[in-house]
Structure 1
Amino acid sequence: MFLEQRMYTAHPGKLPGWLKAYAEIGGPASSRTLTPLIGMFTVEFGQINRVLFVRGFDDIDEREAGMGRRDADPEWQRFLAETRPLNALMMQEAKLIKTVPFSPLQKVGQPFERKLEGTGMFVDHRTYDFHPGKANAWIDAYEKLGKPVQDRMLGQLLWFGVTECGPINQAVFAWAYSSMADRERRRTAMMADPGWAEFQKATGALGALKQQTTMLLKPTANSPIR
């Protein structure tokens, strides 16, 4: 499965107006002509005034056909006409991500099954940059050693993939928590777990990681993941 992850950066104070128009007009038009929205989130910690949203494609060629359908859709054109005067967006970034076999998200239209307690949600979104040629060994070690520990001790893994287009040699993944305090408690306990120490030792010897970037996200009201 391919994930298209888009990150839009807005001028200060202008994101709410754009989000309202997308929720009411642009989002429904996109889901009708492309594929269903997987998740939509605003950045709480990281570079703010940003929205991140994810849509999936089982067949990447279907994306091109869907974009043509959307461009011809009257409601999409209405969305563009209503948001252009807002002059809200200052930057747009898109990445094409391919899910790995152990990613919970594997198919377009797959319903989100919440496994967290309570009703709140914060998403720990992570982008790990690797030195060329070293990502596969790290991901293999993560699947065998690191992920079993995190499955036992952290929140809910939403997706895990590697970049196909955009900056390559990246792993992009997201864990959901019921609150920021829940995240802190769980990650503190994980750091003290012997299994996590074993994973850190195994991957430290690889010298694979170049940079790690995290953001804390909150789902929007129209996000299926929430």
Structure 2
Amino acid sequence: MIHEWRTYEAMPGKVAALSTHLEVAAGLFTKHGLGVVGFWTEDVGTGGQITYMWTYASFEERQKKLAAFASDDAWKKQVAEETAKEGVIVARIHNTMLQSTPYSPEPRLKGRVQEWRIYDAVPGKLPDLHNRFANHTLKLFEKHGMENIGYWTEVFGTSNRLVYMLGYPSLGDREKSWASFMKDPDWLQARAESEKNGTLVAKVTNRMLRPTSYSPKG
């Protein structure tokens, strides 16, 4: 399964217009069979962005469905009316093509807060990192109340990168879950055994996200 992670940066003062734009788009995505995992704003950090994730079976399917969406008269009318009223609302669009790992669940959103985490592996260590997640980490996340939403590698770009998303009922629950996870003897043992020949992760980055009102649920 292919997933596409798309982040829209709004022009100054245009976040509300961008949100309206994407809420209308969400209905048309459904009409044209473009599966959407979710729409998010950042809970901590940049306030001028909205991110969403598409899902499809292949790149051929993506091209076909996007072409149908772009030629939809309702969408053309929406864009024309928005442009006349608001002017340019999008400053930049960033997208990343992702491939689900063999151990990834089918992405579904349940919690009120999600976390997007990127692990850049030490060169040559990505297979070991995958093994640790598949055999230990996912089960331990679940044990400590974290929701495993999805795990991916990049189709194009950084070849030693693991990307994943976790869910929580709240930011407070996130703090409690991570604190208990980091002290878990099973985690400490799994990490020690997996790193006998060196550290696996060179860099970790994350974004805290909150679903929009029009984001799919469950």
Q: Which runs of 4+ in 1 moved over 6 A?
A: none
Q: Which amino acid aligns with 2:90?
A: L
Residues 113, 163 of structure 1: CA spacing in aligned structure 2 closer, same or farther, 3 A cutoff? closer
Q: Distance in 2 between matches of 1:125 and 1:113?
A: 13
State the TM-score, normalized to the length of structure 1. 0.86
Tell me what 2:71 maps to.
72
1:155 equivalent to 2:156? Answer no
Tell me what 2:167 maps to.
176
1:217 equivalent to 2:218? Answer no
Which sections of structure 2, spanning at least 5 residues, go unmatched? none
Q: Indicate the percent of aligned positions where both proteins have the same amino acid.
A: 20
Q: Distance in 2 between matches of 1:206 and 1:105?
A: 32
Residues 12, 197 of structure 1: CA spacing in aligned structure 2 closer, same or farther, 3 A cutoff? farther
- 3-state DSSP class of the match of 2:102? coil
Q: Which amino acid aligns with 2:17?
A: G
1:191 is displaced (CA, Å) by: 1.1
Tell me what 1:109 maps to.
none
Tell me what 2:62 maps to.
63
Give the aligned length.
215
Residues 197, 46 of structure 1: CA spacing in aligned structure 2 closer, same or farther, 3 A cutoff? farther
CA contact (8 A) 2:117 2:204 kept: yes
Which sections of structure 1, spanning at least 5 residues, go unmatched? 107-111
Tell me what 1:97 maps to.
98
Residues 173, 79 of structure 1: CA spacing in aligned structure 2 closer, same or farther, 3 A cutoff? farther
Residues 225, 126 of structure 1: CA spacing in aligned structure 2 closer, same or farther, 3 A cutoff? farther
CA contact (8 A) 1:8 1:91 kept: yes
Q: Note the alpha carbon deviations across 1:136-157, whole angstroms, 9 max, x for none.
A: 2211112112222112113211
Tell me what 1:141 maps to.
132
Tell me what 2:30 maps to.
31
Residues 170, 46 of structure 1: CA spacing in aligned structure 2 closer, same or farther, 3 A cutoff? farther
Q: Note the alpha carbon deviations across 1:193-219, whole angstroms, 9 max, x for none.
A: 001112332344443322211111000
- Determine which of 190, 193, 212 is the counterpart of 2:184: 193
1:27 is displaced (CA, Å) by: 1.8
- 3-state DSSP class of the match of 1:165? coil
Residues 86, 178 of structure 1: CA spacing in aligned structure 2 closer, same or farther, 3 A cutoff? farther
Q: Which amino acid aligns with 2:22?
A: Y
Give the aligned CA root-mean-square deviation in angstroms.
Answer: 2.0
Q: Distance in 2 between matches of 1:220 and 1:2?
A: 23
Residues 137, 18 of structure 1: CA spacing in aligned structure 2 closer, same or farther, 3 A cutoff? same
State the TM-score, normalized to the length of structure 2. 0.89
Q: Distance in 2 between matches of 1:43 and 1:220?
A: 10
CA contact (8 A) 2:138 2:148 kept: no
Q: Distance in 2 between matches of 1:154 and 1:198?
A: 20
1:220 is displaced (CA, Å) by: 0.4
CA contact (8 A) 2:117 2:163 kept: yes
